[in-house]
Structure 1
Amino acid sequence: MSARDNILQRLRAAGSTRQPLEPDIEGFYAAAKATRPASTRAARIALFCEKMAFWRGEVVRVTRDTWPEKLLELCCAKGINSVLYGEHSEHAAALQAAGISGLQPYARPIDDWKGELFSEIDAGFTSTRGGIAETGTLILWPDNREPRLLSLVPPIHFALLDADKLYDRFFDAISEQGWSAGLPTNALLVSGPSKTADIQVTLAYGAHGPKELIVLLLVNPGEVQ
C-alpha cells in the first residue's frame, strides 16, 4: 500500500467513526475578547476613523442637530448640484429642510430614468445599520425606501452613521443586532470608496461604484473635533 493510500484509508476510517465537532464560534470570540483591553466608545470611534481613512474614506463628526447643515456645507464645497435620497426614509424630512440644492428623491422605476441616474446625479445619501470599528466598515441593508443604487451609482456616497451603533467586530454586530432572526435580500459591507487593481495591478477608484465615500458620524457634542 502506498503512503497516499494509507492516508486516505485512515481518513475514511476516521470519518466513519467520529462526527466532526461543530465550531464553538461564540466561545472562540469570547476567548479572544478576554485577551483584549476593554472596549470603550471613544476607542471604537477612533479606530473606525483610522481604518476608514486607511481605505480612503472620509469621516466627518457631526451631532444630531448639525448633520444636515454639515451635509449642505459639504455639497457646496464639492460643487454638488444633485443629491439622490430615499423619499420615505427616516431622514427624508431633515434632508428636505436643509436647503440642499438639487435634492432629488428616488421615486421612479430604474428603467424610467436610467440615463439621468448614471450621468446627471452627483451624489447619493443613505442611512446605515451600523459600523465595524476593527475594519472601518459600514453596514447597509438596502430596502424599498433606500434602494441599493443610492450607494452604488452616484460618484459620491454620503452615509449617515450613528456612533451608538459602532461595534468592535463583525461578529459583535451580527450577534447584538440579531441577524440570525432574519436577513434582507441584500446586506452590504462597505469599506471606503469603490476600488480595483485588476488592470496592471494599479489601484483605481470608482471603477464599480462611488469614487468618494463620506461618512457623517453622529456623535455627542463633546466628541466633535
Structure 2
Amino acid sequence: MSAEAKLEILTRINRAGQHAEASFVRAPVGLSTRTRQDVVEQFAEYAAEYRANVIRVDYAGLAQAIQDRLDLCGSERVAIPQDLPAGWLPQGASFTADQAGVTDLTDIQSVITACAVAIAETGTVVLDHGPGQGRRALTLVPDHHICVVRESQVMDSLPEAVAQLKASVGLGLPLTWISGPSATSDIELSRVEGVHGPRVLDIMLVHEHPDGTA
C-alpha cells in the first residue's frame, strides 16, 4: 500500500470518527421502574450464582449472623475498619481495628466491612473504601470477607450504580468491584479460589423498612 493510499484511509477514518462524536448524545441515567423487592431478589440470586454466601437478615439479627459465619469459618483473628458501626458486631467478641500503617495482614483470617453500592444486574458489590469499608488491602488479603449490604444500597443496573459512585470518583477514591469470591482458572479451566483475594465471601443482605430504618 502506498503512503498516499494509507493517508487517505486514515483521513476518512478520522472524519468518520469526528462525525460520530458530534452526533452522539448520551442518554441520561433513568431510575429503575422495578419494585424494590424485585431488584433486591435479583441481586441475591445473581450474587449467589457467583458463589457468594448471601445471608438475609435484619439489623436485630445482624450481629448474631456475623458471629455464626465467623464460627463456621473458625476465624479468631478478625479485622474491621475503625469506623465500622459498633452495633453490627457481636457483643463480647474481640476484633482488631485496622491501622493504616500496618502492612502485614497475612495473620488476619476474616474482615468485616460495609459497601458503597451493590448491583442487581450483575450480582456485584462495590466498595469505594469510604465509611465502614477500610483501605483496599484490608479486603484483598484475608481469606474471608463479610460484607454488609443494606437493601437500600442495591441498584437495579450498572448505569445506576455508576451514577451513585460519581462523587467517589470525583474524590479520587479507589473502587473495588466484587462479584463473588476471588477465583481464576488455568489453561485447563481448573477453577482455583482465593488467588487474588478472599476465598470466601459472605454478603449480609440487611432488610430495611422503606424509610431505610431497621
Q: TM-score, normalised by structure 2?
A: 0.82
The aligned residue for residue 11 of structure 1 is 12
CA spacing shift, 1:38–1:205, aligned 2, 3 Å:
same
User: Which whole-Å CA distance do the structure 1 matches of 2:24 and 2:113 have between them?
Assistant: 36
CA spacing shift, 1:95–1:104, aligned 2, 3 Å:
farther
The aligned residue for residue 123 of structure 1 is 110
Give per-residue Cα distances to partners, 1:48-92, cap 9 Å, x unaligned. Answer: 1111111111111111222112111221222211210012x141x
The aligned residue for residue 156 of structure 1 is 144
User: Which whole-Å CA distance do the structure 2 matches of 1:219 and 1:80 have between them?
Assistant: 25
CA spacing shift, 1:173–1:84, aligned 2, 3 Å:
same
The aligned residue for residue 69 of structure 1 is 64
Q: State the 1:19 CA deviation.
A: 6.7
Listed as ranges, the matches of 1:52-131 within 5 Å are 52-87=47-82, 89-91=83-85, 93-95=86-88, 98-100=91-93, 102-107=94-99, 109-111=101-103, 114=104, 117-118=105-106, 120-131=107-118
CA RMSD of aligned residues (A): 3.1
Identity of aligned residues (%): 24
SS at structure 1 position matched to 2:180: coil
Listed as ranges, the matches of 1:22-33 within 5 Å are 23-26=24-27
Q: State the 1:200 CA deviation.
A: 3.3
Mind listing any 5+ residue stretches in structure 2 that lack a counterpart?
Answer: 210-214
Q: State the 1:173 CA deviation.
A: 1.7
The aligned residue for residue 120 of structure 2 is 133
Give per-residue Cα distances to partners, 1:117-157, cap 9 Å, x unaligned. Answer: 21x21101111011000000001012596111221111000
The aligned residue for residue 208 of structure 2 is 220
User: Which whole-Å CA distance do the structure 1 matches of 2:135 and 2:14 have between them?
Assistant: 52
**Number of matched pairs:** 206
The aligned residue for residue 191 of structure 1 is 179
Indicate conservation of the 8 Å contact 2:150/2:208, yes or no: no
Listed as ranges, the matches of 1:31-42 within 5 Å are 38-42=33-37
Give the alignment partner of residue 165 of structure 1, picking from 130, 153, 156.
153
Q: State the 1:177 CA deviation.
A: 5.0
SS at structure 1 position matched to 2:135: coil
168-177 vs 65-74, which deviates more?
Answer: 168-177
Q: TM-score, normalised by structure 1?
A: 0.78
Indicate conservation of the 8 Å contact 2:123/2:179, yes or no: yes
Regions of 4+ moved over 6 Å: none
